[in-house]
Structure 1
Amino acid sequence: MVKVYEVTKGIDSEFQRRITDLLMGQMESLGTKDAYEQVSTTVELALKEDSQAHIFVAEKDDTLVGAAFFNVALSIDKGGHYIWLNDLYVHQEHRNRGIAKKLLLHVIHWAEQQNIKGMELETGINNGATKALYNSLGFYDIISKRYGFRF
């Protein structure tokens, strides 16, 4: 049975390492040179008390098999707080078993309890399975062009 829960702020470094190891599966396909340090630092920052980032994990038999990583921000357009879902990741060996849907439903339920006004995310244009999941839960396409900048 898969258990989904929010990771509490201030967890021990061993659990942070387990989350980092899981999320490395998401980064490895990107081939980033300093990926492990980047993910580790981000997880550490996300779990600080003053962070607006949250991590939900899916665990099966004491093994982390999936994670949802998101930030809460303010939006004039939404009229309050909304979620930007940075990552929804399920380990390759555990895909197509409803884990991503279970993670996302937990995030949605949490958001409703927090009076969050909406959620946004992005996925690859050719990622049909993920787009089908999002659409099945009521997400809709937003036509836009996203831009980025690195310091």
Structure 2
Amino acid sequence: MEEQMNSLSDNDHSAPLTQTISLALEKNSNAEFFVVELNDIFVGCAFLNSGISLGKGGPYIWLNDLYVMKEYRQQGIAKKLLLKVLQWAEQEGYKGIELETGISNAATKKLYNSLGFYDIISKRYGRSLS
């Protein structure tokens, strides 16, 4: 994930990434972190937060990040990881899961569509604080 974040800007994201993962792993956090390990190497991860949605009628998940290292892509790892997240979410009683991807990311869109995700027509807004 650090590799992905560093590819998006010139800034080193090591410290903020480590801090974010530490926060996610705290007992009272509403975040979850799933990892895939092959031969003692972390090759993929999913990072998500839970919230409550009036539209969904209860708890739902926002998938912040789904990442597989470049050299391990096209091997079904992302699909297995996302299936694990979906299975866990259903067992935990979540009502839905939402995420976003780039408009031109055809491979990711194909993966999401193959697992029953569908396009939501909206424009997401955001603002950084501090």
The TM-score range, normalised by the shorter chain, is over 0.9
TM-score of the superposed pair, with normalisation by structure 1 = 0.83
2:91 equivalent to 1:113? yes
2:72 equivalent to 1:94? yes
Unaligned runs of 5+ in 1: 1-22
CA distance in 1, matches of 2:109, 2:76: 14
Between the aligned residues of both structures, percent identity stands at: 59
2:18 equivalent to 1:40? yes
Structure 1 residue corresponding to 2:6, chosen from 28, 46, 69: 28
Name the residue aligned to 1:137: 115
CA RMSD for the aligned pairs? 0.8
Task: Name the SS of the counterpart of 2:33 in structure 1.
Answer: strand
Name the residue aligned to 1:65: 43
How many residue pairs get matched? 129
Aligned AA (1:29) = S
Moved over 2 A (4+): none
Unaligned runs of 5+ in 2: none
Where relative contact order (Cα < 8 A, 6+ residues apart) is larger, the structure is 1
CA distance in 2, matches of 1:130, 1:138: 13
Task: Name the SS of the counterpart of 2:62 in structure 1.
Answer: strand
CA distance in 2, matches of 1:57, 1:32: 26
Tell me how far 1:32 sits from its aligned partner.
5.0
2:15 equivalent to 1:49? no
Tell me how far 1:34 sits from its aligned partner.
4.2
Task: Name the SS of the counterpart of 1:82 in structure 2.
Answer: strand
Tell me how far 1:25 sits from its aligned partner.
1.5
Name the residue aligned to 1:16: none
Tell me how far 1:28 sits from its aligned partner.
1.4
CA distance in 2, matches of 1:32, 1:147: 23
Aligned AA (1:103) = L
Q: For the Cα contact (< 8 Å) 2:46–2:65, is it kept in 1?
A: yes
Task: Name the SS of the counterpart of 2:116 in structure 1.
Answer: coil
CA distance in 2, matches of 1:145, 1:32: 26
